[in-house]
Copies of this chain bind each other. A is one copy, B any other.
Amino acid sequence: MNQHMHPVPLDKAYRLLNHGPTVLVSARHDGTSNVMAAAWACALDFAPARLTVVLDKGASTRQLVERSGRFVIQVPTVAQIGLTFQVGHRSLLDDPEKLDNSGVELFDMPGHDLPFVTGCSAWLACRVIPEPHNQQSYDLFIAEIEAAWSDTRVFRDGHWHFETADPALRSLHYVAGGRFYAIGEALDTGPGKTG
């Protein structure tokens, strides 16, 4: 936890994901923690705050999610591009030191038995809503967001401030083959501006 990390009201938590960033999924069970990257995470509802995330059956993190029923979705930054790629391409099965080797540092939040990744711009503590058919047939997990926080240097008062924050705090948007895009220019519109 750092001095810039502050709670986000749950009815604004969807805004942390609304622009479609690639995320990190972390989970812990019985003393084992893991972190993976996921491009397929998406807001699902405002209130109760919910999201979906696709967790492949081969992912070690999925086992921890299934066993603990909980996980954290966090939004990594441009400064974490190497870490994000590494946790997406290394497996805890092949590399027991995956987290250290990927440059991941974890921290705890009081009241949450979950591993949080240092240096992200947002964190969403989630509880799985069991939907066995979705999980088995589609690798699709539905979860309720129980708490959310942001780094207020880049998300505060319910809005991202990428256009004024350090560019190293921008979100990452993965495509394939090691290619990410950073989020770009802010564009405003509305009834008076659209013609």
Contacts and interface: CB of A to CB of B under 8 A. Distances in A.
A175 B159 contact: yes
Contacts of A21: 20
> Which of A22, A86, A172, A181 counts the most chain B CB atoms within 10 A?
A181
A190 B42 contact: no
Interface residues of A, number: 58
B183 A184 contact: yes
A50 B175 CA distance: 16
Q: Taking the full assembly, how many copies of this chain does it contain?
A: 2
A134 B142 CA distance: 10
Q: Which of A45, A138, A173, A177 has the most CB of B within 10 A?
A: A173
A15 B194 CA distance: 29
B140 A15 contact: no
Contacts of A187: 78, 81, 172, 179-182
Given A44-B140, A134-B134, A186 B195 contact: no
Nearest to A102: B194
B180 A181 contact: no
Contacts of A89: 191
17 contacts: A20-B20, A20-B173, A40-B44, A41-B42, A44-B138, A44-B140, A81-B189, A82-B195, A86-B194, A158-B176, A159-B176, A159-B179, A162-B181, A178-B189, A178-B193, A180-B188, A181-B187
Given A18-B175, A158-B176, 10 more contacts: A18-B173, A44-B138, A44-B140, A45-B139, A52-B52, A159-B176, A159-B179, A160-B175, A179-B187, A184-B185
